[in-house]
Chain A
Amino acid sequence: EAGVAQSPRYKIIEKRQSVAFWCNPISGHATLYWYQQILGQGPKLLIQFQNNGVVDDSQLPKDRFSAERLKGVDSTLKIQPAKLEDSAVYLCASSPTTGAGNTIYFGEGSWLTVV
């Protein structure tokens, strides 16, 4: 079974530029998550989708971050304009449903450096 796919794996941009990350979840998984992991910290949830609807985006900085999950499969996370503090690993994850006991499967992450 293929895992969660993310691209690009690495990206370096200048502050105020824009960047987009793509995620393809495990086939059949209804729930998709984007987490931000800053160096030395645990992952922090940015947004959670159930199919193509948003379940939780309370920690998404909506003035610069946006995410969509068209057709309930792939998802894109965009940052515009980027700030230095956005340097982090962006982890996409998926689970079969939204139930609290579900195992969440993570991709390898997209590493962003903002200079």
Chain B
Amino acid sequence: AQSVTQLDSQVPVFEEAPVELRCNYSSSVSVYLFWYVQYPNQGLQLLLKYLSGSTLVKGINGFEAEFNKSQTSFHLRKPSVHISDTAEYFCAVSTDSGYALNFGKGTSLLVTP
């Protein structure tokens, strides 16, 4: 079975600073990787996903992530964060044998002025 570990439960950062949210996965088969964002009292919204091809994936709101098969990682990055990026971020994985998403526990990003 596949699983995801988000290494940081909380990440505080100042506005306009860069940020990296870390995600590692475990799977014995090829994976599809996703990052979702959840704003307070809202559902989850897809930021980006990796299916195949280029290992650098660009998503919405200026976020990008890099798939690293040797490190089994899919870290999310943004070069300059805004106050509005404050939210919970979830990394998720699926495979061809288990179609539904398996989520990590989430990383709370707190952006302060």
* Chain A residues packing against B (C-beta within 8 Å): 4, 31, 33, 40-45, 48, 55-56, 91, 93, 98-109
- Residues A109 and B32 in contact, CB atoms below 8 Å apart: no
Measured in the bound complex, the distance between the Cα atoms of B105 and A44 in whole Å is 10
| Count class of interface residues, chain B | 20 to 34
Measured between beta carbons, the chain B residues less than 8 angstroms from A107 are 43
Measured between beta carbons, the chain B residues less than 8 angstroms from A109 are 42-43
Per DSSP, are chain A's interface residues mostly helix, strand or loop, or mixed?
A: loop
Measured between beta carbons, the chain B residues less than 8 angstroms from A48 are 99-100
* Chain B residues packing against A (C-beta within 8 Å): 4, 6, 32, 36, 41-46, 49, 51, 90, 92, 94-96, 98-106
Question: With contacts A43-B44, A48-B99 known, is A101 near B90, CB below 8 A?
Answer: no
Measured between beta carbons, the chain B residues less than 8 angstroms from A101 are 32, 49, 51, 94
Measured in the bound complex, the distance between the Cα atoms of B89 and A112 in whole Å is 22
- Residues B105 and A42 in contact, CB atoms below 8 Å apart: yes
Partner of B99, one of A4, A42, A99: A99
